[in-house]
Amino acid sequence: MSLVDITTRISACAQAHGRDPSDITLIAVSKVQPAERVEAVLTQGYRIFGENRVQEAQGRWPAFQAQFDGIDLHLIGPLQTNKARQAMEMFGTIHTVDRSKLAKTLARLAQERGDCPGLFIQVNTGEEPQKAGCLPSEADGFIAEAKAMDLPVRGLMCIPPVEEEPSLHFALLAKIAARNGLDGLSMGMSADFETAIAQGATHIRVGSAIFGERAHS
Ligand SMILES: *Cc1c(COP(=O)(O)O)cnc(C)c1O
């Protein structure tokens, strides 16, 4: 599928659910993809990309940034506190804030820098032990804590368990966001972005449907 096919599907789906397509940001997830595939999408004029590792992003994006204006990078993978400074330099949005220690580090660095990327709080809606994200039962407390640190919390993010119906997880995320007065919902990937749009996603993260299968994850 091409980028154009995806954006067409996003618009059709948004309209079918009474939503404005411009309220939905497509993040083209370029992690692990060969440079020529990423460059092809840049050449088509697209500028919003997602990476899951700080180091991988640092290795490839500076060269693209020298060549193309207006690149907007989103961090969608787990962030270690010792990489927080580099992440803040590289990314306009971080989708994976999930614990106090990280929030405190980001708040301290934001003070020092005088600005901060937009932040999403990741919620482990499936309560999977191996997965990042705060537990649903801890989300309200953690969101309040992050807001009290003056962090720019834009919304919530989740990655549903692979074997489960994603709509239950999207609905849970939307409910937690609504009761905390948050508008942003980062949810939906190649296989389920239309379901996510139907349930209010504002940021969808689509990789393989745009770039093709990844060689590894
Ligand atoms: C890899 C990844 C995606 C994109 O997955 P696709 O199935 O290739 O669309 C989205 N979100 C996160 C957090 C990812 O790590």
Residue 217 pLDDT exceeds 60: no
Residues touching ligand 1 (Cβ under 6 Å) are: 29, 31, 52, 76-77, 159, 189-190, 205-209
Band the pLDDT of 2: cuts 50, 70, 90: confident
In angstroms, the CA 91 to CA 88 distance is 6
Buried b (16+ CB within 10 A) or exposed e, 159-193: bbeeeeebeebbebbbebbeebebebbbbbbbebb
Please report the sign of the dihedral spanned by the C-alpha atoms of residue 71, residue 30, residue 84, residue 104. Answer: positive
What is the reported pLDDT for 100?
Answer: 98
Question: 217 C-alpha to center of ligand 1: Å?
Answer: 9
Tens of pLDDT along 165-211? Answer: 999 999 999 999 999 999 999 999 999 999 999 999 999 999 999 99
What is the reported pLDDT for 21?
Answer: 97
Residue nearest to atom 4 of ligand 1 (CA): 207
Atom index in ligand 1 nearest the CA of residue 206 equals 9
Average pLDDT over residues 10-26: 98
What is the reported pLDDT for 1?
Answer: 77
Band the pLDDT of 216: cuts 50, 70, 90: low
The domains found in the chain, sorted by start residue, are: 3-211 (3.20.20.10)
Question: 111 C-alpha to center of ligand 1: Å?
Answer: 31
Tens of pLDDT along 74-125? Answer: 999 999 999 999 999 999 999 999 999 999 999 999 999 999 999 999 999 9
Tens of pLDDT along 122-149? Answer: 999 999 999 999 999 999 999 999 999 9
Give me the percent of the chain exceeding a pLDDT of 90: 96
Atom index in ligand 1 nearest the CA of residue 205 equals 10
